[in-house]
Structure 1
Amino acid sequence: MAAEAFALEGYGITSMSSIAARLGGSKATLYKYFASKDELFHEVMRRKCEAVIGPLEELAGSSPDPATLLKAFGKIFLTRLCQPDAIVIHRTVHAEAERFPEVARTFFAYGPEAAYSVLTPALARFHAMGLIDCPDPRLAAEQFLAMVRGDIHLRVSSGLIPPPDEAEIERQVAHAVGIFVRGIARRDTGG
C-alpha cells in the first residue's frame, strides 16, 4: 500500500496520514513501525529492489564462466527492470529526484549500486582466475549493465513501448554479452 501511494501520488505529496488511510489504520500505528516517511520509503525501495537483486546474488557466486554469468545476469536484470512495478519506481525517482534528492540516493543505493556490488566481485574473480582481462571490474559492471538496459529500458520507462517479451530480452542481452565478452577477453601476449 505504501508503494502504491508513493507511485500514484509521488514522494512529495504522499504523507504518513495518506498511507495509514490506505492501510485502514492509524498514523500512530504506522509511526510505531517507521519513524518517518523517509524511513518507510527506504523500506519500500529495499523490498522492491531486493526482488531484482536477490536472484542476481545467487547467480553471481555459482556461474562457471563469464559468458554464462553475464547472459543469465543480464536476462534477469532486464526482465525485472522492465516489469511494471519497476517502471513505476523508475518514473517516481525521476519525477521527484530534483526536489527530493534523498529519493534518488535511496533508489541508487538499493538498485543500481546493489547490482554493481553483486556483479563486481564475480568479474574480479574471473579476472583473478585469468579467464578475462578486467582490471577495473567495478567500471566493467557499470558498463555491462548500461549495455543491457540499452534503449529498451528508456523506451519502456518513457511509455513509448510495452515491456519486451522474452525473445526480445534474450536478443538484447545476447548482443550486449557478445560485445562485452569480446571486449574483456584475455589476450595472450605471446613471446
Structure 2
Amino acid sequence: MAELKPINYGYTFARLSKDSRIGFQAIAIYDVLSSLAGDEYKCTATVQELCEMLQMTPKTFFKYQNDLIAAGYLSKKRQGGHNGNVYTLELAKAVFKDIKRLYSKRLDSEEVLNLPAPYYFELCTGKKLTKDLIHLFKHYYELPNWAINYAISKALDQSINNPIEIMLYANSIAEKWLDDPSIQTKADVDEQEAEYYKQRQLEKEGWE
C-alpha cells in the first residue's frame, strides 16, 4: 500500500484495560483525549473542558491523569495563556510508528497477523472497526490475534464487505478452529484446508 490510511487510535484503550495500574477513570480520560486527537496522537484542551466532558472534579482528573503519565501512556506540555495543555498520547504515537512500518508488509505475515484486530481490520479494508463493534465482539480479545485476523481475512476472501457480517463470519470460523486441538497456528489452518480441498477434489473426480 503506497498511501497510509488514517487510523483511529482510540482503539488503544483496549491495551490500557489490561494494565492493572490503570483504573477505568484513567481509561476514560485517555479515551476522551483520543477522541479529541482524532486520527492523530496529539490534542489541545483545557482542564476545565476535559473535566466538563468527563464529569470529573479537577482533583479526580489530575489523580488519574498522573497515573497515565507515570505509566508512560500520556505526556503533556503547557501552553501560554488560556490555550490549555498539549497532550501527547504516547501509546498511540508508538502504534502510529508501528502501523506506518507495517503497511509495507504482507497482510498474512506473522507480525501483521498478531496485531490487535482493529488495526488488522483497517489495514485490510481501509475501514474503521468501530468501538461499538469492538464491544459487540469483545470476546475476540479472549482469542489469539492470529486466529481473529486470519478469520477476518477468510471473510474478506468470501467478498463479504459489511463490517458486522465480516465479524460474524470471522467469529464463526475462528471458534471452529479453536475447538480443534490440532489447530494451533495459521500453518495448521492452511494444512487442514488443503486436505479438505484435496478430499473434495477426489470426491468430485469419483462422481465424474
TM-score by length of 1: 0.34
Larger relative helix fraction:
1
Higher relative contact order (CA 8 A, sep 6+): 1
Asked which structure has the greater CA Rg, the reply is: 2
TM-score by length of 2: 0.32
